[in-house]
Chains A and B, each alone.
Chain A
Amino acid sequence: MEGFLVALVIASTPLLFATLGEIMTEKAGLLNLGVEGMMLIGAVAGFGAGYTTNSPVIAVIAAIVAGGFSGLLFGFLTISLRANQVVSGLTLTIFGAGFSSFLGTNFIGLKMSESFITSFEPFKIPLLSSIPIIGNALFNQDLFVYGGMIVAILLGVYLYRTRKGLNLVAVGENPSAADASGINVDLYKYVHLTLGGALCGLGGAYLSVVDVPQWQDNITAGRGWIAIALVIFVAWNPIKAIFGAYLFGGLSIIGFRLQQYGISQSLLDTLPYLVTIIVLVISSTRNSKDNGPPKGLSVPYFREER
């Protein structure tokens, strides 16, 4: 059981980063369906930079920059050039897949060095890690896992307790109200899109740099899409995102453990995607004012439109 929980938290970490990134983006009223692409770009950038320099710090920075840049690109297309958000997002996914494949051909089969891997070894947090059952899973992990939880909590505080966060919510809900209150709507969108992209990039890099850590083509394997569904499932709430990510992380690894009972592996592999569909159906029937999507989601805003 404990081993399962440890593996669950690890499997949920890339989902958590990507979900938080997309929450930030959608809170600004932008629907970026390019999460999968941004994760792949982050993954290949992180792996490439890490492998070449053998520096974990540079690997992380490269993933952040690459992910952030891909978010910025989406912003340029949809905010400045006023392109359609859905089409731009899908394009970004296709672009990310091709781009990572192209750069990744040089890395196929390569593995990170031992010294690199040790810098992402789990380390125990005293006291907390000795809590029975969940102690090891939550408090004896690598830096990325802690980072994901901290970012989730910070984002929660940011969205609901700070002025900038409240302004962001206003931008996503009712951009004309935000504009009339003197908030720079486009700037808010750009900034949070970029930060959201950076988080997605980090999620992808966790897979290539820490979890696997070896380059494989299409390393994210649809996790970006699950993250988009997760955003809806957790009702755009970063704190709930932690638990949502655990649920799907668990589903993605439960297959290995159920195999011994003679259930078809192919069937088990479909579990996360099946549950995604079920979750989306359930959330679409839920009708609560506080748990709904930002009202301005995917609606472009231009001030002088009439």
Chain B
Amino acid sequence: MNANVYVKMHNISKTFGLVKANDSVNFEVNKGEIHALLGENGAGKSTLMNMLSGIYKPDSGSIFIRGKETIFHSPKESINMGIGMIHQHVKLVDVQTATENIIMGMKGGFFVNSKSISGKINKVSEQFGLLVDPNKKVYDMSIGEKQAVEILKVLYKGADILIMDEPTAVLTPQETKKLFETMRKMANEGCAIIIITHKLNEVMEISDRVTVLRKGKTIGTLITRETSPKEMTDMMVGETTNLSIHRAEVLRGNKVLEVDHIYAKNKQGVDVLKDISFNLYEGEVVGVAGVTGSGQKELCETISGLYPTESGRILFKEENLIGLTPKDIIKRGISMSFIPEDRLGMGLVASMDMVDNFLLKVHHEQKGALVKRKPVAKQCERIIKKLNISTPGINHPIKQLSGGNIQKVLIGREIDTNPHVLITAYAVRGLDVGASHTIYDLINEQKRKGVGILFIGEDLDVLLGLCDRIIVMCEGLITGNVITTEVTKDEIGLMMAGGKMAGIKKEEVLHAND
């Protein structure tokens, strides 16, 4: 066998209960290659990689590492074979320093010799251009830094087969660029790199080859420069698709929401919202861009009455919402859906079924002491049909649905209340192309109905495609308020990093054009 084939996975199958997560999957990666693993949610990408990193055991099939057949009984054996996995959500210990995280689980003297280890870490980080302060505690780091530590962790252990699980999901465009430079460098140094993603532009930009999975099966392996995003999507989805995000052309109506000089502090007394002002109109989608933790969550919660403000006003049709209870705010037709990183933390109760989750929102409108499930069950059936939610039934615990279906349930419930203002945060977080488009369609449908929509997002391409206007937040400040058609991705990226908009049309200009 060719010694350059670092990883060969042959006819791998893995079943969870009744679900066939991997069905005779074949996958190969060469030395010095960046190989993208592409597929929708539930296509079996993570399962396959978890088997390569020794977390799961395949039911059948064989794995060859550098030509040698290998069976992994634990992550340790995989690490010893030079395989390192960089997880989507960084697996670091917050209260420890970079050094302590990097040497975690490694053999060595009983006592830790920080000096010599720091020296070695510096050497590796210089080699690959990863700048990290070895003595910085993880909780003080930005997401980009944390990821650099995660990468250093595997490189330090001498890994030359790296698996990166959606590494760009939480990064700014600038950080992504830097990461790609590092990845190229690692490949040039002879590493084999596997990148799991469903962002097609990234596949095109960084990978040498791409393997597409669909419903647990290998659809094919392509050479990246000989393919196109269109071809890859068709393979991924299994049918011909329209990639571009549609933006419904709707004439803007009256002002529904006016956020006026809002200030808010968190429990530690740190400002999380600083002088936030913007307007939202009927039939308008306003996007909010920003690195995670720039105040988006607090903004959502402030508008829905969950977060206390220091000063400022939030006007809904001339009425100040500050001081109203969340229940009163919902009654006025302001609906929020926030999809947190674990997708379940807010809005839905994981162990309850769909009916009970819907009941949470409506039970106080029902009369009598006991809740009535029947009308709600009907509503659920209707929404399942309308949004094409795949679930064994309305009485099935929410947590057992796939991420996309959970999100459809949440957004479906919010939209079904016929809101005037819809706030949706990270609505397509972790969703594949097909499911994302269903959500975009839902948002466009609401827009046509004249709903004012605040769309908090991560993916700039989506924001630019879907929204009429984009507000950029950085550390609690609005650093930009721009019309989508008049701004580039790079400009938004700069504003996300704190650069004030310069020479870009402000909202005031937009008003003048009204």
Does B510 belong to the interface (CB within 8 Å)? no
If A181-B75, A181-B105, A182-B79 touch, whether A166 touches B56 (CB-CB below 8 Å) is no
Distance to closest chain B CB from A180 (angstroms): 5
Q: How far is the CA of A167 from the CA of B107 in the complex (A)?
A: 11
Chain A residues engaging chain B, CB cutoff 8 angstroms: 161-164, 166-167, 169-170, 173-174, 176-184, 287, 289-290, 292, 295, 303-304, 306
* Given pairs A169-B95, A174-B92, A180-B87, 11 additional interface contacts (CB within 8 A): A163-B111, A167-B105, A169-B93, A173-B95, A178-B104, A178-B105, A181-B104, A182-B75, A182-B80, A182-B105, A289-B137
8 A Cβ contacts from B84-109 to A: 85, 87, 91-96, 100-101, 103-109
A161 and B93 contacting across the interface, CB-CB below 8 Å = no
Q: How far is the CA of A180 from the CA of B111 in the complex (A)?
A: 22
Contact with A along B146-173 (1 / 0, CB 8 A): 0000000100000000000000000000
Q: How far is the CA of A176 from the CA of B106 in the complex (A)?
A: 16
Contact with A along B126-138 (1 / 0, CB 8 A): 0000000000010
Partner of B112 from A166, A178, A295, A306 at Cβ < 8 Å: A166
Partner of B104 from A177, A287, A295 at Cβ < 8 Å: A177
Which chain A residue lies CB-closest to B78? A182
Give chain B residues whose Cβ lies under 8 Å from the Cβ of A174: 91-94
Give chain A residues whose Cβ lies under 8 Å from the Cβ of B267: 287
Does B268 belong to the interface (CB within 8 Å)? yes
A179 and B103 contacting across the interface, CB-CB below 8 Å = no
Does B383 belong to the interface (CB within 8 Å)? no
Q: How far is the CA of A166 from the CA of B16 in the complex (A)?
A: 34
List the 4 shortest-distance A-B pairs measured between CB atoms, nearest first. A182-B76, A181-B105, A177-B91, A183-B105
A289 and B75 contacting across the interface, CB-CB below 8 Å = no
Distance to closest chain B CB from A117 (angstroms): 38
> How many residues of B are counted as interface, with CB atoms below 8 angstroms from the partner's CB atoms?
34
B110 and A180 contacting across the interface, CB-CB below 8 Å = no
Q: How far is the CA of A178 from the CA of B55 in the complex (A)?
A: 12
B96 and A169 contacting across the interface, CB-CB below 8 Å = yes
A182 and B87 contacting across the interface, CB-CB below 8 Å = no
If A164-B110, A181-B104 touch, whether A170 touches B79 (CB-CB below 8 Å) is no
Distance to closest chain A CB from B316 (angstroms): 33
Partner of A289 from B91, B95, B103 at Cβ < 8 Å: B95
B103 and A163 contacting across the interface, CB-CB below 8 Å = yes
Does B395 belong to the interface (CB within 8 Å)? no
B55 and A295 contacting across the interface, CB-CB below 8 Å = no
Partner of B103 from A166, A169, A173, A184 at Cβ < 8 Å: A166
Does B74 belong to the interface (CB within 8 Å)? yes
Q: What are 16 residue pairs bridging A and B, where the CB atoms are less than 8 Å apart in the complex?
A: A162-B112, A163-B109, A163-B110, A166-B96, A166-B100, A167-B105, A170-B96, A173-B93, A179-B55, A181-B79, A181-B106, A182-B76, A289-B94, A289-B95, A304-B55, A306-B16
Give chain B residues whose Cβ lies under 8 Å from the Cβ of A184: 74, 76
Give chain A residues whose Cβ lies under 8 Å from the Cβ of B74: 182, 184
Distance to closest chain A CB from B110 (angstroms): 6
Q: How far is the CA of A306 from the CA of B91 in the complex (A)?
A: 17
A304 and B109 contacting across the interface, CB-CB below 8 Å = no
A303 and B55 contacting across the interface, CB-CB below 8 Å = yes
Does B53 belong to the interface (CB within 8 Å)? yes
Q: How far is the CA of A70 from the CA of B109 in the complex (A)?
A: 32
If A180-B53, A289-B139 touch, whether A167 touches B94 (CB-CB below 8 Å) is no
Give chain A residues whose Cβ lies under 8 Å from the Cβ of B137: 289
Give chain B residues whose Cβ lies under 8 Å from the Cβ of A183: 104-105
8 A Cβ contacts from B421-463 to A: none
Distance to closest chain B CB from A232 (angstroms): 16
B111 and A162 contacting across the interface, CB-CB below 8 Å = yes
Of listed B16, B55, B95, B268, residue having the most chain A CB within 10 A: B95
Q: How far is the CA of A174 from the CA of B103 in the complex (A)?
A: 15
Give chain A residues whose Cβ lies under 8 Å from the Cβ of B79: 181-182
Give chain A residues whose Cβ lies under 8 Å from the Cβ of B104: 166-167, 170, 177-178, 181, 183
Of listed B74, B91, B268, residue having the most chain A CB within 10 A: B91
Distance to closest chain B CB from A176 (angstroms): 6
